[in-house]
């Protein structure tokens, strides 16, 4: 049996990933972690968790899977949050952004590794990163910083595994590129006074430069299926070619 824990399965890439794995093989079990359930299948289980609530995140526990061949955690859920320059953000917006984009994935990864440390299954953590984690974008300070944080968290875990634990867990932090999701709609609704790159993101939609979630899900599945092809912790799906 293969077990895939995926956060943010109610829409976008998370939902596309869940649906991909539910149709890929009859022995795949998908566990969605989000506030709302929009996926329904006999091999799907839903954990109703608000990742923006620390008390709910820290009480989530991963059950044992003694018959598992592969166990994967995909930290997909993310928010761009309030788009405004620093000095104009609310404290609540900053805290919520870091909670969803960095704190929740860090806590879940820690719990995941505790739960399956002794499992003989192939174990992997895939964090959804962003080009914003490497490139500063005015108006996105918390988002950029939280994605930079998830990149460094992934690199540290990889270093720990490589040096001390013989790669019991593989970990990646992968940029999915611009995808046609609700997040892009939220970005396009920003005020031009607060977001100098608004026109760029509007043009991504007009010029059909936004990738379909199903296509990106296929690329992520290829990575997870063929980890020996990907030695770096940080990279972009743009570098991935699916036959």
List, by residue number, the catalytic residues.
Answer: 143
Q: Is 45 helix (H, G, I), strand (E, B) or coil?
A: strand
Residue 205 in contact with residue 144, Cβ under 8 Å?
Answer: no
> Hey, what are 24's tokens?
């890929």
Q: C-alpha angle 34/38/41, rounded to 5°?
A: 105
- Alpha-carbon span 105 to 102, nearest angstrom: 5
Contacts of residue 85, defined as CB under 8 A and 6 or more positions apart, other chains included, come to 138, 139, 141, 194
- Alpha-carbon span 8 to 68, nearest angstrom: 23
> Hey, what are 28's tokens?
């795949």
């Amino acid at each position: 049996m293969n077990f895939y824990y995926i956060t943010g399965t109610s829409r976008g890439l998370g939902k596309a990933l869940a649906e991909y794995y539910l149709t890929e093989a009859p022995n795949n079990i998908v566990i969605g972690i989000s506030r709302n359930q929009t996926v329904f299948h006999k091999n799907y289980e839903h954990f109703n968790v608000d990742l923006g609530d620390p008390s709910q995140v820290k009480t989530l526990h991963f059950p044992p899977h003694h018959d598992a061949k592969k166990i994967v955690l995909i930290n997909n859920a993310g928010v761009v949050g309030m788009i405004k320059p620093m000095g104009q953000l609310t404290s609540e917006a900053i805290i919520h952004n870091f909670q969803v984009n960095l704190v929740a994935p860090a806590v879940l990864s820690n719990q995941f590794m505790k739960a399956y440390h002794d499992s003989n299954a192939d174990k992997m953590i895939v964090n959804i990163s962003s080009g914003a984690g490497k490139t500063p974008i005015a108006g996105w300070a918390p988002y950029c910083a939280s994605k930079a944080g998830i990149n460094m968290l992934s690199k540290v875990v990889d270093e720990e595994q490589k040096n001390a634990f013989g790669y019991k867990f593989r970990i990646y932090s992968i940029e999915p590129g611009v995808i046609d999701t609700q997040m892009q709609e939220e970005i396009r609704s920003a005020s031009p006074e607060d977001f100098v790159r608004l026109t760029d993101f509007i043009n991504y939609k007009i010029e059909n430069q936004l990738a379909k979630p199903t296509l990106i899900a296929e690329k992520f599945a290829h990575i997870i299926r063929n980890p020996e092809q990907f030695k770096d912790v940080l990279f972009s799906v743009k570098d991935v070619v699916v036959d």
